[in-house]
Structure 1
Amino acid sequence: MTAKAFASTGDLSEKRVSFTEIGPGLYAYTAEGDPNTGVIVGDDSCMVIDTQATPAMAEDVIARVRRVTDKPIKYVVLSHYHAVRVLGASAYNAQGILASRATYDLIVERGQQDKESEIGRFPRLFRGASSIPEGLTWPTLTFERSLSVFLGRREVRLMHLGAGHTAGDIVAWVPDAEVMFTGDLVEYHSACYCGDAHLRAWPRTLDAILGFDPKAIAPGRGDALQGRRPVREAVAMTRDFVTSLYGAAELSVARGRSLKETFAAVREAMDPKFGAFAIYEHCLPFNVSRAFDEASGIDHPVIWTAQRDREMWAALQG
């Protein structure tokens, strides 16, 4: 019997793009559960947060930015290292590419493997892959905990609040508008991809986000959210997703169950609440694998490769 392909390889449907102003000069480029991009317009220049997966796809972001401002895009921010977020960076011709030091280290450790794995398992998100320059996307400036960048008088505070979706996630906080761009630390009606996550640490990082009491956020996936109640709902839904995943896996591991048995246990716990979320099926095998590992004492996520993807998928079906 031929093994089923990953759900993501068969996802070919185009998504409707929205470009929403969530604060003065602050925009969220969203696409029905596909990766979001944030745009911050300052007095003299702009910043883009997460670039899209290819330069060809980034051109649509740039076109929408040009409808609202002619100010140059001076900075590109990488909220984390995943290829689907960073490989479009060259399209912006930015003066600086900013990321946390932990993200830089993860690119060194696993950037090439991640690029090959992601392109192989979700081809639709890499339209125009031939436009990606040779090699990897490298930050030109990194920081440990926080960095303030000024777009004229407008401050953007980049902060590593803790591990979660990866070890190096950062958020972008715009104090004058009380708006935050969270990257994949927060999702809205979209599954969290947890294949490289630190699941026990993630809820503490969400607490840190709530400490800013944002008026609006651009999450990593899903609609932009305006108003404190929708923001808190998105954070609560993300917390529920992460804790439900880890809790079910932890209990299964404690009972001595296999990865395949843990996959079934997680499905039983999560399908009723999250089965309709965007990319839920795409993420679930990777999410369960990481939760199984972390509950088994593997604190540092194992590197995903195209070969490991296939081996994991075979183990879950065998």
Structure 2
Amino acid sequence: MTWTLLHSACEHLDAKSIYDRCKLGTNEPLEHDDHGSTPLHILAWGNPDPQLLQALVASCPVAVSDKDVHGDTALHVACSFPETTVKVVKVLLDACPTSVSMTNKEGLMPLHMACRFAPNNEAVIGYLIDAYPCALRSRIKMGSPAPFRKRTSLRNKPGDHFVSREVGATDFVEARFRTITAQVRDGAYPLHMAIKAGAPTSVLEMMLKEADDVMYMMDKFGQTPLHVAMATQAEDGVIEMLVENGGMKAVLAKDKSENLPIHLAAIHGCSVRAAKGLLQKCLPSIHEKNAAGLTIMDLALESGKCGEDVLRLFEITKDETQEEDEKKE
């Protein structure tokens, strides 16, 4: 494994050196550093000039499908960068259309990477979905994480890439490992990942428009996207959109601990607007107990995460539904 002059030129975005070395016709574009990265992996990170990327791809098209020690292709790397453009993604996909469905060692496709690390990049996420809609229904395998070599310095040295292009890149790489490892354990889908990462409503709507059934798909813990939204205290607009799309089926879905989404709202806290939206779909759910035998009110009081207005809503709903039940009897 060798850190070449082309690796260095790609890291420093030295266009002249990249063009010159591409013309040499050597195997340099296929050389791997000690993290298994080719020069193309290096260049793909950081939203490079599409023409520069095209020149490197044209010099060695097979490098587009090459994988590093994590099993990432250059497309995985590009989609991990929040400001990556469609033009960059298009260059890589045009050279290797199948790279959009390639998985790394954690079972992640480029769409998973974009949803986790670039949740606001609607253009790129949409482009990836158009290229391979099946990725929306792809669940991360729940296996062991890929090998990881911690980078300890922001100063670049052979084989220690993604560190000098931007300040904090080392932090990004380490955070990427931690968050992806956690979500490998979760067995999440792209929609789950996008919600956890704080994707806007427009991105989530786009994903559901292409595959509305993912609204009911569950991760390792039996949690649907609505469960995830409540557990991560998503914005009210996101919660309302999920409730509207999922209907009563989503509101009454139980995870492996028999928690409804409203149980998780009580545990983690939510706005009165979000709580109303959930309860309006099914008022009797206020009395539902989870596997531990706790109701929404029990959990809200125990967690201390809900405001007075939410507690009051829970109490009023509980009393009103109880009165209705008594009248029926």
Q: TM-score, normalised by structure 2?
A: 0.31
Q: Which structure shows the bigger proportion of residues in helix conformation? A: 2
Larger radius of gyration: 2
